[in-house]
Structure 1
Amino acid sequence: MYVIRGCYVGDYGLAAVGKYFTRFEDLNTRFCEGLTDVGLVWLALGCGRTLKSLEVAASAKITDVSLEAVGSYCRSLETLSLESEFICNKDLLAVAKGCPLLISLELLCSKMTDEALQAITNFCPVLQFLSFCGSNYFTHKSVFLFLEIFFNWVLHYPF
């Protein structure tokens, strides 16, 4: 795993990684404050087809543009960790639709709703690990849907 953590790599640095390390598989960019959509899009364009693991956290300038690029170009992604208060349903829908091989997904996103969890259960059939926290918008319906699909349980909600 290549770790670029807690430093000011910036967009040009991440673009260089995408351009010159086209077989990159694992990248952790936690707390790299200099990252914006530009860098992550160039990374996805350059080495997205081989990228299997990506962690993005505390990057306030990462928006739906980056996550749509991840969904479009990182089709081999198996592990994804996203931590941002700016990520919303639309972003997670793009990732879920574009990354069907996801095995592990960690989300700390305050704007997620039932719709995001529904998309993840529909479009990520091999998902084995899902961690989601930070959102007050989930209801019991999504949690039970998740349990029913992934564990083949028939749950009867008593209310």
Structure 2
Amino acid sequence: MTSSSDADEVTPPWVELPREITATIFHKLGTIEILTTAQEVCTTWRSVCQDPDMWRSIDMRNKVNIWEMPYEYDLEKMCRHAVDRSEGQLIDINIENFGTDDLLLYISQRCGRLRSLQLVFCYDITDEGLVEAVKNFPLLEELHLYYTPIDATTIEIVGRSCLQLKSFKLNHRGYKIPHLVCDLDALAIAENMPELRHLQLFGNKLTDDGLQAILDGCPNLESLDLRQCFSVDFEGNLRTLCAERIKDLRFPNDRTDDYGFDAELNDYETSDDDYYISGLSDIEMVSDYDDFSGASLSSYEYEEEFFVD
């Protein structure tokens, strides 16, 4: 018969899992759950969570409602803590619904081996902030921007700074209004990102001219997503050329079920003829969302708890 004291000392089976299996499970949780829950369960799990190998990939996706800030946690402080735990080994990071220029610079100064950067709804990250950061990411291969507006000049600098860039996403909401055109993004990509294999321009205002420039300037493209790019008409032999060159091609009116974000079109109406001028800078046409910024709190000092006071 087992005494009560012996029963108390029995190690739960999930604690005895190999460290690599435990780490794999934790990665599926995401950074926020690891720092606020998993590492507090037991000393074994805490040890796994403190291993720098755990932080080669940082997933800061979250359920923050950008219309109802502030959030329960200081996500920026939490992100800095995760970056520090990586001890420079970070290669992949996803920041969603928060982020500032200071945070991005903090990451770039400590993680020069970064390969993949994804920014989603990061309205507090400016063109200047992104430019300063990417100068420290010479190995960057993937830059994915969702509803994080940047201008064509920034695209040019990104291309010149990240010579190994192979996947670029610059996604906005599409507009119902016809003939809203701008090829500045497309030209910046075509002239500065020759090694691209994958390009997604969801909701962009490029025209056939911009598309032709991309085909000419990015000869290694394997996939091209032009959903909700309603100013592309595929006149002449452009459609045939795309079909011959691109293995995975998504057209402006293709379904958006697998997009992963809200693909509802902006019902934008205006009588201002200036909005129809080809060459209008994207930064001048950002949506009303620019009035709403993340409520993350900047801090260079962190503790083990991340609750916002």
Fold shared by both chains (TM-score > 0.5)? yes
Larger C-alpha radius of gyration, 1 or 2? 2
Residue 17 of structure 2 corresponds to residue 17 of structure 1? no
Deviation readout 1:99-129 (Å, 9 max, x if unpaired): 1111111111331111121111111111111
* 2:94 alignment counterpart: 3
Residue 159 of structure 2 corresponds to residue 71 of structure 1? yes
CA distance in 2 between partners of 1:94 and 1:137 (Å):
18
CA distance in 1 between partners of 2:184 and 2:159 (Å):
11
* 1:53 alignment counterpart: 142
* 2:240 alignment counterpart: 144
Deviation readout 1:4-37 (Å, 9 max, x if unpaired): 1122x11111122223221111011011121110
CA distance in 2 between partners of 1:54 and 1:107 (Å):
12
Q: How far did 1:85 drift? A: 5.8
CA distance in 2 between partners of 1:95 and 1:46 (Å):
20
| Counterpart mapping for 1:59-138 below 5 A | 59-60=148-149, 62-84=150-172, 88-138=182-232
CA distance in 2 between partners of 1:84 and 1:19 (Å):
29
CA distance in 2 between partners of 1:36 and 1:88 (Å):
20
CA distance in 1 between partners of 2:156 and 2:187 (Å):
9
Deviation readout 1:106-154 (Å, 9 max, x if unpaired): 1113311111211111111111111112222111223233224447xxx
Deviation readout 1:28-62 (Å, 9 max, x if unpaired): 10111211101211122111x210001111124x2
SS of the residue corresponding to residue 108 of structure 1 reads coil
Aligned counterpart in structure 2 of residue 43 of structure 1, from 118, 122, 133: 133
Structure 1: which 5+ runs fail to align? 152-159
CA distance in 1 between partners of 2:146 and 2:96 (Å):
10
CA distance in 1 between partners of 2:185 and 2:146 (Å):
15
CA contact (8 A) 1:85 1:111 kept: no
Q: Which amino acid aligns with 2:241?
A: L
Structure 2: which 5+ runs fail to align? 1-91, 175-180, 248-309
State the identity as a percent. 29
CA distance in 2 between partners of 1:4 and 1:28 (Å):
6
TM-score by length of 1: 0.82
CA distance in 1 between partners of 2:234 and 2:139 (Å):
36
